[in-house]
Structure 1
Amino acid sequence: MTLPRPKRHELGFADYPFFRSLSTELCQEIYNSSRVRQYNRREQIRGMTLRNGDAVHVLLNNGIAAEELVHHEATTLRFRYQGHCLGDSEVFTDSKPPLAIAVTKTVTMAVPLDVMRGLVRKHNTLMRTVSTSMAERLRSNDRVYMMFARAPEQRLCELFIELIDKTGYPTREGTRVDGPSQNDLAQALMVSRATVENTLRSLRARQLVRTEYRAFVFPDVAALQKVASAVPPAVVAPTAGPRMTD
């Protein structure tokens, strides 16, 4: 659904990390080239099957989007949040745009890819901003999604901490996160749905999470953080047995 264009001062560019290092004039130029649209839950934002699906999208509201990445026929999810840029890497390459869907109601500012490429060539500050967006995304991927050596409980808590930081809001019962399903969490961490269910059962037993319809509530975020940051026990190498002599 295309929304009425907000006035520039209503948009508040300073609220979004992507725009903070850019001049007011450049922000206005990007804004004038874009369209603002709202996507409902599970609606497709980007992808090869969409007309103009190769546009670059900056997420504007407190929603969650997910990019589906395919690696050798295996599909994984990466969550994106307010101020993140969908399609930043395609500004510099001709790779196919990954599928992006709205996990919650999501509002984006969409700039046609060819327009964004032209602006990047014209403005060095925008080139640095897009490059920084890519670098921060890769660092987040490594920290949140790629810790395969850690226990599933730690990995899920780390992802929950990320979701809380980006989209959580306080309620009387604790901090609440809306949107991701158990299937989403399993795809994001590249584990089975059963692993996520068993891990959530353990966290519920310790009163670290409450599960509701399309939502998670965290009564004690500090305790959740301790689980996420716990140092795994060291693996002790077996000692050599006594040497046999003749």
Structure 2
Amino acid sequence: MASPTPRIDAFNPSSVLAGKRRMPEGTFLGYLPAKSWSRSIRPRLTSRIFNQGDMLPLGPTDGAVHVVLGGCLLQERFPFGTGKGAPVVVRFRGTGEFLGEAKLIEPTAHVRTVCLSTTWVMTCSIRRMKVLLNRHPEAELALLRSLEARNRSDEKIYCTADRPPLDRVSTLLLHLAQTAGTRDPDDPAQILIDGPRQSDLARSLLLGQSTVENAVAELRHKHRVIASRYRQLVVTDIARLKRIVTPALPGTE
């Protein structure tokens, strides 16, 4: 049976393509000047929509890179091979991010990338993207700045095993809300995160699934900042979630 036609109306295509939508802080499109995007870069890219569960073409023979305009993706790297029991590095990616950057250096580089929700990307061949980056220094700078920001963000989210599980899960959920969340059309104060399962959160944070489930339950019942639906997390109070992640310093409230 054919996959249903993806919907992109939730992404507000006109504002995104015109560079008028504010992109998440620290992302490629967050750093790239809006005029450069709408006039120089975006017209030379091809728009594509992927369904939930689709693989983004970032394999060793896929000669393209992608800029995410909407959706939530999960990337898996296998630093020690794909044998049984081999460790897997799991990371979430979202709106505004440049994916496949390693291909600009090594075209056969690859990372397994799964769309956890309907995902909208702009695709460009490796050769053309290299030309665009050479011709537009502001785009090259935006890419470099975004990769450094992503490294630092990944360290804060995924590499802090000494922090309590509640802190780590809260930090990841805040990140997902900011990079992959969409406003609930029936209640704009709520942010919908489509796709990630609690098992995905556990794999990315290297925590037991029961540990993540307990943290999510505490955020839902005690702190009342999220709600859970099937393959959807709802941030009901983003301001309070931010305070959990970054408590106010004494004397600042």
Range class of TM-score, shorter chain: 0.7 to 0.9
Query: How far apart are residue 22 of structure 1 and its match?
Result: 4.7
1:169 pairs, out of 183, 195, 206, with: 183
The TM-score with structure 1 as length reference comes to 0.77
Q: Does 1:141 align with 2:154?
A: yes
Larger Rg: 1
Q: Please give the per-residue CA displacement for 1:135-194, whole angstroms capped at 9, x wherever unaligned.
A: 121121112222111011110011111122231424559443222111211122122222
Superposed CA deviations along residues 83-142 of structure 1, whole A, max 9, x for unmatched, are 111112432445612111211101100001122123223332222122112112112111
What stretches of structure 1 of length at least 5 have no aligned partner? 232-246
Cα pair distance change 1:27/1:187, threshold 3 Å? same
The equivalent residue for 2:233 is 216
Q: After the TM superposition, which of the residue ranges 107-116 and 13-22 deviates more from structure 2?
A: 13-22
C-alpha separation between the residues in 2 aligned to 1:192 and 1:54? 37
In the alignment, residue 103 of structure 1 is paired with which amino acid? L
Partner of 1:46: helix, strand, or coil?
coil
Hey, what does 1:60 align to over in structure 2? 69
Separation of aligned partners in 1, 2:90 and 2:59: 17
Contact kept? 1:46, 1:97, Cα under 8 Å: no
Equivalent pairs counted in the alignment come to 227
Give the deviation of 1:81 after TM superposition: 1.7
Q: TM-score, normalised by structure 2?
A: 0.75
> Any unmatched runs of 5+ in structure 2?
8-12, 81-85, 249-253
Greater shift, 100-109 or 172-181, is seen at 172-181
* Residue identity matched to 1:96: A
**Alignment partners' CA distance in 1, 2:163 and 2:235:** 21
Over the residues paired in the alignment, what is the CA RMSD in angstroms?
3.3
Q: Residues 190, 71 of structure 1: CA spacing in aligned structure 2 closer, same or farther, 3 A cutoff?
A: farther
Q: Percent identity?
A: 24
CA separation of 1:230 and 1:56: change in aligned 2, threshold 3 A: same
Aligned position for 2:201: 185
> Corresponding residue for 1:199?
215
State the alpha-carbon separation in 2 of the partners of residues 133 and 40 from structure 1.
26
